[in-house]
Amino acid sequence: MATLDRLGLRKTQPRSASSMGWFSDYDANIVGGLLIGFGMALSGACPGTVLVQLTTGIRSGWLAMLGGVIGGILHARLSPVLRSGKPSTTDSSANLTVHSKFGLDASHVLLGYEVMCLAAISFATLLKPGDAFTSLHAILGGLLIGGAQTVSLLLTSTPVGCSGTYSEIGQYFWRVWDSSTESKSSQEAPRPSTRSMTFALGIFLGAWAMPQSSPIAAALADSQISDLSAFAGGFAMVFGARLAGGCTSGHGISGMSALSVSSVISVACMFIGGIGLAWLLKWWMEWRMCLSDCTPLHILTLSLSLCENHLLHPIPCHSSWAAIELACNESQDKTANYITPFAPTSLSPKTSHCRNDLMIPSTPP
């Protein structure tokens, strides 16, 4: 995006603040970003990757898509009400980027952002599990996404974004609904755009074509995400994306590349919401799976140990597991699954239910 701007081929605009007028000029970015993170932690997808999951046969993708469509429909009707507070005081033309807001040199900020991205890519590559399956190397996939951004800018003069698809679906839904009830609003409202839906169709067709040409790409395993978790996650991430004015592609790829303040805030809240909820679900699942046979005294002992170790180590350490085994008091081996509304549909039993691996929805991709 920066290169196209410098060459004068395309002039990209930074994303404006998304506000509901509740407590900040960026309150919708904050709330929406948190909801996106929650939804991604629950569903294991984002508004764009759901389309890929549909073509690769991942069952949770269909329910996440259904939740997302309903979220888009609901937001299309509630948006005027949610944004009925005082208007944003953020200037529409100034202070929308990090460098303009803080009086920094644009080239220096861009260089810092590139260095941060390269560092994140390096750490992710080094820390990736050795048995993690990908049909393409992640770096190659990122280059393809960057190529898609370039093509979108050159051909349509607009950066990529996926959550607008659900908004357009919602607008068409209410247009048909209002026309069937002979509402005047359907006659006065302009015809909704189809640009985002067309882009989403391209993602869907591309994801469908790849497994046809590459057997490796068709070997993706289904995810272990419950139906309710997938549906709730899809609803939360799309509703949040429309509140924030973008999702992981609109803010994370396009907005961050334009150094937009609203995108920085939104993406930060996505990580906070997703990682925070995943940690809480993991902690809660440990209690559900390991306290079934405990007495109140054992529960108190375990809670003190877990709290201390979780604050210091996100992953339970040996002393934490020792406390769990003590609290379970030599419980018998169990093969029954402890299923919760937001737990996976299956868990692999081992020698003791206190040592089961926790398979909760992963943190945001």
Residues 37-56 pLDDT 10s: 999 999 999 999 999 888 88
Taking all residues of the chain, what is their mean pLDDT, rounded to a whole number?
77
Select from 113, 99, 91 the least CA-distant residue to 16.
91
Q: 158 falls in which pLDDT band (50, 70, 90)?
A: confident
Q: 360 falls in which pLDDT band (50, 70, 90)?
A: very low
Q: Which residues of 163-174 are buried (b: 16+ CB within 10 A; e: fewer)?
A: bbbbbbbbbbbb
Phi then psi for 344, rounded to 5 degrees?
A: -65, 160
What six digits make up the tokens of 72? 């888009």
Residue 207's pLDDT is 85
Q: Which amino acid is at 363?
A: T
Helix (H, G, I), strand (E, B) or coil at 97: strand
Handedness of CA 97, 102, 106, 112 (dihedral sign): negative
**CA 32 – CA 41 distance, rounded (Å):** 14
pLDDT in tens, 281-309: 888 877 777 665 555 655 566 555 555 55
Handedness of CA 270, 257, 65, 183 (dihedral sign): positive
Residue 341's pLDDT is 39
Instruction: Return the ∠ at Cα 214 (arms to 213 and 215), rounded to 5°.
Output: 120
Contact (Cβ atoms closer than 8 angstroms) between residue 347 and residue 338? yes
- Paired with 97 in beta bridges are 260
Share of the chain above pLDDT 70, in %: 69
Is the pLDDT at 60 greater than 60, yes or no?
A: yes
Mean pLDDT of 19-29: 90
**CA 194 – CA 189 distance, rounded (Å):** 15
What six digits make up the tokens of 103? 């009086």
Share of the chain above pLDDT 90, in %: 32
Handedness of CA 326, 329, 330, 332 (dihedral sign): negative
pLDDT in tens, 203-227: 999 888 877 766 555 445 456 788 9
Handedness of CA 272, 278, 281, 282 (dihedral sign): negative
Residue 41's pLDDT is 93
Instruction: Return the ∠ at Cα 57 (arms to 54 and 59), rounded to 5°.
Output: 80
Is the pLDDT at 331 greater than 50, yes or no?
A: no
Residue 317's pLDDT is 40
Residue 267's pLDDT is 95
Residue 303's pLDDT is 59
Of residues 147 and 124, the one with the higher pLDDT is: 147
Please measure the distance between the N-terminal and C-terminal CA atoms of the chain and give it in whole angstroms.
23
Q: How far is CA 217 from the centre of its chain?
A: 22
**CA 167 – CA 204 distance, rounded (Å):** 17
Is the pLDDT at 361 greater than 80, yes or no?
A: no
The CB density around residue 229, as the number of other CB atoms within 10 Å, is 28
**CA 310 – CA 272 distance, rounded (Å):** 17
**CA 145 – CA 139 distance, rounded (Å):** 10
Residue 356's pLDDT is 40
Q: How far is CA 1 from the centre of its chain?
A: 23
Residue 292's pLDDT is 58
**CA 245 – CA 257 distance, rounded (Å):** 16
What six digits make up the tokens of 236? 């939360």
Q: 34 falls in which pLDDT band (50, 70, 90)?
A: very high
Residue 64's pLDDT is 94
Segment (H or E) for 150 = helix 138-156
